[in-house]
């Protein structure tokens, strides 16, 4: 969109609703707030000018583990519980099979 010599970019406003409660209110209604958060509500608990946010975190984020196969390039990395590492000045860090 142009207005005279100025080019105005179209902006998008994203409004997020968040429930705000005091720490005293949170203490009195703790289980109700937990139920609301588990249903997707974001809740800010305000105390001494600071806010603590209570919100649902999905399992997908928690279960995601990094793939170390590109970093650890040793034979048979899936059996890492059966071998360890040995450091030598000449050979550096090398895998060693545990007995």
Confirm whether 65 is domain-assigned. Answer: no
pLDDT digits (tens, 9 = 90+) for 48-99: 999 999 988 876 655 667 776 677 676 666 776 777 778 888 878 887 777 6
Confirm whether 64 is domain-assigned. Answer: no
DSSP 8: P
95/99 Cα distance (integer angstroms): 13
Please check whether residue 84 is in contact with residue 98, taking contact to mean a CB–CB distance below 8 angstroms.
yes
Long-range residue pairs from 53-57, CB within 8 A, at least 24 positions apart, any chain: 53/18
Which tokens hold the place of 83?
């071998």
Overall number of domains in the chain: 1
pLDDT digits (tens, 9 = 90+) for 15-24: 467 899 999 9
> Is pLDDT above 80 for 37?
yes
Residue 15 structural domain: 2-57+70-97
pLDDT of residue 32: 95
State the pTM of this model.
Answer: 0.45
Residue 31 is part of a domain; what is its CATH number? Answer: 3.40.1620.10
């Amino acid at each position: 969109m142009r207005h005279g010599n100025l080019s105005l970019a179209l902006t998008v406003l994203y409004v997020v609703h968040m429930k705000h409660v005091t720490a005293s209110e949170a203490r009195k209604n703790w289980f109700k707030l937990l139920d609301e958060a588990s249903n997707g509500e974001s809740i800010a608990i305000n105390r001494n000018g600071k806010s603590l946010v209570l919100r649902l975190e999905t399992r997908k984020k928690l279960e995601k583990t990094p793939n170390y196969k590109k970093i650890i390039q040793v034979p048979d990395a899936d059996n890492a519980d059966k071998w360890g590492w040995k450091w030598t000045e000449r050979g550096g860090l090398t895998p060693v099979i545990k007995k």
